[in-house]
Amino acid sequence: PAWLHYVCDEVRAAIGEGAAIEGICLYPVTAYPGWDNSRHAEVGLFSVIHADGSRRLRQAMAEELARQRRLFNLDSR
């Protein structure tokens, strides 16, 4: 979740400079297979599809997302 931490820090800095930010896109929301190889890019909120057809919540990303919501005061809305 380092990328989400970085993006949110940059957005807060932009807001501090007066930019009107309406939202942040959480993309990709799911892990995905690499475009040029078969490695899985585990970058989303949800894992790759498992053998049973399910996806799992990636706990570290969920925790970082919750932390960022608190820092942006979104939990009070």
Residue 19 lies in a domain: yes
Residue 76 lies in a domain: no
Domain of 31?
2-71
Residue 63 lies in a domain: yes
**By the 8 A CB rule, do 75 and 68 touch?**
no
Question: Rounded to an integer, what distance in angstroms lies between the CA atom of residue 59 and that of residue 57?
Answer: 6
Is pLDDT of 77 > 90?
A: no
Tally of structural domains, the chain: 1
Residue 32 lies in a domain: yes
Pairing of strands 32-33, 40-41: antiparallel
> What's the pLDDT score for residue 41?
84
Q: Give the model confidence (pLDDT) of 25-57 as tens digits.
A: 998 899 888 888 878 888 889 998 899 999 999
Residue 54 lies in a domain: yes
> What's the pLDDT score for residue 27?
86
- Which residues have C-beta within 8 Å of that of residue 36, sequence separation ≥ 6? none
Residue 77 lies in a domain: no
